[in-house]
Structure 1
């Protein structure tokens, strides 16, 4: 059980962190706060890159430069903490040879013998790992308890910092998409009209048909060349990996503006391109979920999260409304009570090899979660 002093120290450790929207600055300051909080000899925080690597963002107490160390997916203590059901993994650095990675090897050289790894999670998605090391002794249960509590407070702050960074990137992508659309709607159509006019000259020229035909063919060739350049420019402007998250942000912004329901979008992991048909399923999921929230939920807030994981995409839509009916059953065959939207969506998700889960969440509202396996894009 936590003491009053532990609670007070936790409050002090997290104070002021919420104002940091730059992820590296947040991780550095949080690592120093955790180091003071738990009284460890060494503390470090690694951030999950959304694919197969943990990247050390900051450390305290170590003479070796730990920041920047990359820990690929493997059997190291950090990955054990993420991938096992137990929230915390501890080990004896010197004896636990099976789980040596670059971080552990460096800490052994500094006489660190006890090491704990605690995952940082948000909404069921990995964000990173916190490490605590002790010289000559194991990490105590009190220390890992404090780390878990600190990680629970740190997780939403990391998400906010990631969102702030992503917002700038997505704003650029949105501008690129808007410019590409404008090019298509204006210059593209104009060039098409030029090409058609050139063909008309060829067909109607009576006086000096030879010159008219030659001029028309020149215009047509120039228009075709310009069209090719334009298509290439539009293709380069259109976002690829971030296209799905950009489109989702637009849908959510429209929904929030129309309904007045506070709606947030969180993107986790590194955006990666997926097959268009898979992205279409996720967009259908989002739109059906927002439609049902507007029509049935009576919600005041909605959280949409899109997580890019190594082999799958996970979309979650959560609201604080009145939840599902007590007799609700998820069935791919439309019935009188469930309507057509959710059963039809379930069929689409199943057809893409995915899994759809729909349940009442801890806040009494509804959580819809769809997991779609990624396949290599051609």
Structure 2
């Protein structure tokens, strides 16, 4: 048959056990196990004639013999179902010939026909049941078809088609409901899994946040306390080596210690660089450059280009820390005579350049301390870039570029 696959054509019409949803399977078991006995008992009570009892007893025995007495593994076999249906239909027809009220029991045959397979056999069984249940009261199939064949054929065809089509539609609806139920269960399982993943991601995010905050604090401590202590030690060592300058060196070390203490207190309170508390970034960088030049005795030139405008606090703090770290590295390692510090405001980024004419180094062989790696980490955390150009004997140039995110 075109458009119908062989597997569906061979399936029974009803909700056989194992098909449809739980409700359909429960209804199928109730119909199979209890409805025939219920309808037979009801019809016997309605007729209430002693001469029908032997045949009703035979029908009951047949139901038991082809039902509970059959091993479970054979009950759904096609031959078993066909034999059971044929016997039940025959006994129900004989009972109807005795009294038409036994059509109540004959209704059982409709359900039995729907369980037959393949499907064409079920349709034939439906048509036979419909023919008998409608014509026995009119004298039987032979007499009814001989007097008004068109009427009875139409009734049988309409009833058979309605029952078969309704059963198929009901099965499809049940299968769709079962599919929706399974999809809903899968969705609930996926939601539960997503909730678990969400909790896991939150935990990982918190751990990552803690780690990032630790790294940020370590950088802040390095850029404040560590640099300050380095400057103090440098001044005290210079005072020890040059007694004639010890008063100025000690005074510089004392001022540096006070400045470092104030910076540490500010960092503890807000972790925002102290020079930015009361000054714009260009002014803060200029002040840092001047204090550094006084301590290191190295000439420095600060230049700001472009239109200066307030940047996001993290942007300004990062540029200031990069400048402090770069200048600290120059003082400790470069042996430079001149340093250039340039802050450039552009449309979409802000750039800080630090250049010196010192001894230089090989960038590929730089150490793993908190110098260049720390600056790189700070800049990359804000989606910026850090470029380092240097070679032995040719000085060093460091350029940090950050997105020009304005202050709120």
* Fold similarity call, TM over 0.5: no
Question: Larger helix proportion, structure 1 or 2?
Answer: 2
| TM-score between the two structures when normalised by the length of structure 1 | 0.33
Quick check: which has more Rg, 1 or 2? 2
| TM-score between the two structures when normalised by the length of structure 2 | 0.31
Question: Larger strand proportion, structure 1 or 2?
Answer: 1
Higher relative contact order (CA 8 A, sep 6+): 1
